[in-house]
Structure 1
Amino acid sequence: MCAAASVLSGVRAIIFGTSIETLIQCGWFQIRISASDVVAASTRPTRPSVYSGFLSHKTDLLYRNSENRRAMNPWTDPSH
C-alpha cells in the first residue's frame, strides 16, 4: 500500500487488513513506516482516516501461506 500517494490524492480513508509487522514476520521485505505515521507527517490540511486490521484474519493468511513469497523477494531465492 502506498500511504503517501493516498494522502496526496486526497482520499478520505485508508483501509487495509495485513500490517507491515505481520508481513515482516511472514518473510516479506518491507519499509517499517506505518500508514498512520505517513498520514500524521503530512502537511495537507485534510488527511485520510486510517483503519487497520480490516479482515486481517483473512488477509494475513494470504501472506502466511503464499508460495509467491520467493517471486516477490528474489534475494531469498538462491537461483537469482
Structure 2
Amino acid sequence: MRTVSPAEMKRRAMMRRRILVGRTLKKGEVLSASDLEFKRPGTGIGPDEAKYVVGRRLTRDVEPEHELEWTDLE
C-alpha cells in the first residue's frame, strides 16, 4: 500500500467540504436541511455529520456563509 505524503495530506484537508449556513439565522432557531450549504475548503463540521446538525438549535446569531462549529449548536 502506498504512503500518503505530508504535502498530500495538506491538500486533502484543503479539498474537504464543510457545512455552512445559507442565510442569516438567529439564536434559538432550529436548523433544517434547507439552511445548510456544503463548500470547500473549510475546517468546521463535515457534510457526513449533517444528520446530527439538522434539528439542532443555534446558540448564537450567524450570518450567511458562516462555517458551523459544534459550539454553535445546542
**TM-score (norm: length of structure 2):** 0.28
Bigger proportion of residues as helix: 1
